[in-house]
Amino acid sequence: MGKAVNNSGNYHKKLVIGLFGFGVVGEGLYKALQQTSSLNATIKKVCIKHAGKKRNAPEELFTTDKNELLNDKEINVIVEVINESEPAFEIVSTALLNGKHAVSASKKMIAEHLPKLLELQKKTGRSFLCEAAACASIPVIRNLEEYYDNDLLHSLKAIVNGSTNFILTKMFEESLSFKDALLLAQQLGFAESDPSLDVDGRDAVNKWTILLAHAYGIVEYPDNILFNGIQNIQLSDALVAKEKHYDIKLVAQAKKLLNGEIAAFVLPQFVKHDDHLSFVKNEYNGVVIESSFADKQFFYGKGAGSFPTASAVLSDISALRYDYRYEYKKLYHHIVPELSSNFYIKTYVSFDDWQYIPKEKFEWIEEWHAEAERKYLVGVLPFSELKNNTWWKENNTSLILSPEPVIEDVEIRKLKKKSLELAGV
């Protein structure tokens, strides 16, 4: 009985928060905490960059001196929701070293510093939580951590960037050009004034780096994961997709191959209408997890915005009441699988001029259309060709994966044999 009493005491552990950043997410968290008194968590100080701004909170809450938060003995949780990667890392690492728990929403910072953050959590015994950094309101990290065992997780595919998904939805449903759709996304606040991080796929691959660590124990620098964004997608690609009854989405995916290695990448992809990800429109995110015996599970929710992101930060804060931490079981208690480049990928490529397309690099080409101004082909490439070269994202070339893009070596040999038989060779 004694143990239960102790535990219940722990649930009422008072959390005193030092908050860094009072933008969209910071203010959302401040408001959300005011509405959830049951949490027994209060913000003691908020560190901001510019002192003069008018803010919707008492003036005495704010300071521009980070040490006021980091050295305050009473503050036991540091929450960091700022935009810059290096200062964010400094805040989180100092907080952990000072014996405080840390919660962060900075995907770029986490993706770039993951090995160091893992080391700090181990060394200090404090928790570092970051549910808000992957899919805002969708509790995907905790699910991957707790629920899906490494050996049972077949694949994971997701739409993790709301801005690009909004742009693609508008190109599809309203036939807007990429430029017009981007402008609309900026006007509605779904895309930054400098949208390059979203549009070129960088934000998505940062989030994917974090999810790969929780899904498979793979700790990899984002630049070592193949990615591209939607910057080269043309209206003509959307028309081809419509003809074939597909949508186009920017899909982050990871799949366990027959040899136990993992294929992982973030690329635009044709998605069939009955695919779960086809239902994910505008600024929403979606994650499809496939495991050995449970078939597919689909998580869906808002991937950006004040309250959706604050809700994930809030769930991390509430978990700290009972000293929750990520255990990274797949990293520390399993043999971590390798990231593979040893497979093939089925893809659609559209382009202005044949001279930029190395036809000889394709294993085979199934379809080509060369009569229109904008030409395209559908064929199979070794994944290493994309990894080692950049022709597929230059000279106005657009590459979009087929719905089931990963083809393994064994299948390739069978398909080649079949195509030779059909050709009567």
Distance between CA atoms of 185 and 172, rounded to whole angstroms? 14
CA distance 269 to 252: 9
Distance between alpha carbon 334 and the CA centroid of its chain, in Å?
23
**Distance (Å, whole) CA 108 – CA 118:** 15
* DSSP H helical ranges for 71-131: 85-97, 107-124
296 CA to centre of own chain = 19
**Are 213 and 207 a contacting pair, CB within 8 Å?**
no
In the three-class reduction of DSSP (H, G, I as helix; E, B as strand; rest coil), residue 314 is classed as helix
Check if 179 is active-site.
no
Q: Which residues of 111-132 are buried (b: 16+ CB within 10 A; e: fewer)?
A: bbbbeebbebbeebebbbbbbb
Q: How far apart are CA 47 and CA 72, in angstroms?
A: 13
Contacts of 416 (CB under 8 A, 6+ apart): 363, 364
351: left (phi over 0), alpha (psi -120 to 50) or beta: beta
| Catalytic-role residue among 207, 249, 256, 330 | 207
Query: Collapsing DSSP states into helix, strand and coil, what is residue 381?
Result: strand
Q: How many residues are recorded in the chain?
A: 425
What's 134-190 look like in SS3?
Answer: HHCCCCHHHHHHHCCCHHHEEEEEEECCHHHHHHHHHHHHCCCCHHHHHHHHHHCCC
State how far the alpha carbon of 115 is from the alpha carbons of 23, 124, 168, 334, 339, in Å. Answer: 28, 14, 34, 17, 17
φ, ψ for residue 324 (rounded to 5)?
-65, 145
CB atoms within 10 A of CB 83: 14
Q: How far apart are CA 271 and CA 277, in angstroms?
A: 7
> Is the Cβ–Cβ distance between 157 and 286 less than 8 Å?
no
Active site members: 207
